[in-house]
Chains A and B, each alone.
Chain A
């Protein structure tokens, strides 16, 4: 393997690696005929990212012939190669990536100004192929915008925030932080509403809401913002993954994030909720009705959660509660488990039977060539692989 990246593309490669480091601890490298694939996945298999750099991205692109080579390595080591981005731009003229199969090493050589050569020998391990199964083009809801829009949106949420919920109607997108039932009374709720004309493309087939982890979105934005490429977002039903992509002629980046799913037993709650999307915000901001915010509380006693006041126009607050057993709710759960969970948690008075929620894992293809992966791959099979040499197709 012998690849060379020159000029500004070195920084793009570096940004991609930094972006992948927000997802998982290991970088999966797979030189393919259609380009170099760099991938990462998080430990609970609920977030996956893949950057594919086409051969044209490189000034030289030679890959091992004959056998398919792939490996994984600690992403921190690779990050160390591209550590200081500001100086990368100014000093690095090209980056050479070479493979030493005998010693199980990938060599990154940075050719810098003044004839300086920095060589990093990074050991790798053999690995299974890592590819998530998703077909973003089949998803009903598609949006595209300049990354600035998303960056300006996430800035309203604290860096420590775990999960956000994105809800869409025909004309609007709402982004709000997702708070567990137990924490509801004490947490700050933030909601931002975006109009469809702020997007370059805004297509909604089903008005619904998906909840996913903000940290991984921020990871993608790290890359998108520096390159200025438009970000596309695809999602469908809650439970099926949300995909964020950036594309240009020589690269494609996809971030696939798991979303919280509804229990399939509670479809009716789901559909009822879908019919009442969050009320459109009052466009004439200046004159909302003060009375709708009237609080008439008896202050002679300290108010408790049972204060019986008519609620103001509700935010589309999720009425779901978590299955206590799914404390590690982002662990790999296969669809079969959904049928086992029949319990309802009737914690809330204002919903008939809140469905249970958990994240669906992403379902990973095993070592199959890309052409045979289709979106109709059934979700009940396919465990994520351990590196079992029997499965390797050599």
Chain B
């Protein structure tokens, strides 16, 4: 198993750091999958996370100037590592002005992802800083847990309002209730509702637009084609999970949308040019 990548371009380094920082705000520990073409940050939905799962896909060519890897074997040409993204984020943040940053899989006191950067100095010899981030190698027999999630059979798909606005709303709602209902319809309308004994608050968003695949939402092209556009699909979720998702966002995505499976799951999708992030929040009763 080998992995070695190098980032030289400052903008790429910056972007990569921001992606890793976003991931670090979403989860404490996640799995990093390395394939010849992509990097994936994966969190599988377990009870421990409250059922939340995440899938973030990066195309390596958009970030790395050099990228070489050899997986576990030639049929399974992949590397799966369990990592604490906050450590990676911290290491990357300190080397933003580096001439070059290398990421390598190494074995120091334990398997590590080593970030080595060459920093500019006034002297002839560069300053080299290395950060060894300990990782756990995930054995092949567990790889099935970290596969790309399939698109759920959603009832409604809608574009999200500006994330900052959503975040402001959700932040205030969090003070009032632990659970929030997200509902949306095929008419571009979305509501965020909370309800307690004393008060209920609803924020309405209109004219959001629905992604084109929303028209034949169901894979089998069945009953949902005749779905009443006014009909709301809703899911009640833990407000902290939604807030955590919104808090972590560092970059404005080119596209942000949400699929709701009625009373089952909220599936949030953020697309940037070279990164896609999917986040699943299960509904609670």
Contact residues of A with B, CB < 8 Å?
Answer: 155-156, 158, 184-195, 197-198, 281, 283, 285-286, 290, 293-297, 299-303, 305, 307, 309, 311-312, 315, 317
Contact = CB atoms under 8 A, between A and B. Distances in A.
A188 B133 contact: yes
B134 A185 contact: yes
Contacts of B130: 189-192
Interface stretch (B137-145, B164-172, B196-204): B137-145
A188 B124 contact: no
B137 A195 contact: no
B134 A188 contact: yes
Interface stretch (B34-42, B50-58, B86-94, B244-252): B86-94
A193 B4 contact: no
Interface string B90-121: 11001100001010111111111010101001
Nearest to B109: A184
Contacts of B100: 285-286
Contacts of A195: 121, 123-125, 127
Contacts of A281: 128
B1 interface: yes
B129 A185 contact: no
A339 to B, nearest CB: 32
8 contacts: A188-B90, A188-B132, A188-B134, A189-B108, A190-B131, A299-B137, A307-B107, A309-B107
B147 interface: no
B49 interface: no
A311 B122 contact: no
B94 A156 contact: yes
B126 A285 contact: yes
A198 B127 contact: yes
B72 interface: yes
B123 to A, nearest CB: 4
Contacts of A156: 94-95, 129, 131
Dominant SS at the B interface? strand
Interface string B134-159: 10111111000000000000000000
B104 A198 contact: no
B219 interface: no
Given A155-B94, A188-B134, A198-B127, A293 B106 contact: yes
A197 B124 contact: yes
A286 B100 CA distance: 9
Interface residues of B, number: 44
A185 B122 CA distance: 36
A177 B64 CA distance: 28
B68 interface: yes
B22 to A, nearest CB: 19
B106 A192 contact: no
Contacts of A315: 108
A188 B131 contact: yes
Given A302-B137, A312-B107, A297 B1 contact: yes
A315 B102 CA distance: 18
A186 B91 contact: no
Contacts of B104: 293
A288 to B, nearest CB: 8
Contact of A295 (B106, B122, B131, B132): B106
B137 A297 contact: yes
A193 B118 contact: no
A88 to B, nearest CB: 31
B133 A312 contact: no
A303 B2 contact: no
Contact of B111 (A190, A193, A297): A297
A191 B91 CA distance: 11
Contacts of A311: 107-108
A305 B137 CA distance: 12
Contact of B136 (A190, A285, A294, A303): A303
B106 A312 contact: yes
Contacts of B125: 195, 197, 283
Nearest to B123: A197
Which of A293, A303, A311: most chain B Cβ within 10 A?
Answer: A293
A189 B131 CA distance: 6
Nearest to A155: B94
Contacts of B127: 192-195, 198
A309 B137 CA distance: 14
B146 to A, nearest CB: 13
Contacts of A185: 109-110, 134
B110 A192 contact: no
A158 B127 CA distance: 19
Contacts of B141: 300
B185 to A, nearest CB: 47
B1 to A, nearest CB: 5
A305 B108 CA distance: 11
A290 B2 contact: yes
Contacts of A300: 139-141
Contacts of B136: 302-303
Contacts of B131: 156, 188-191
Nearest to A184: B109
Contacts of A194: 127
A300 B105 CA distance: 18
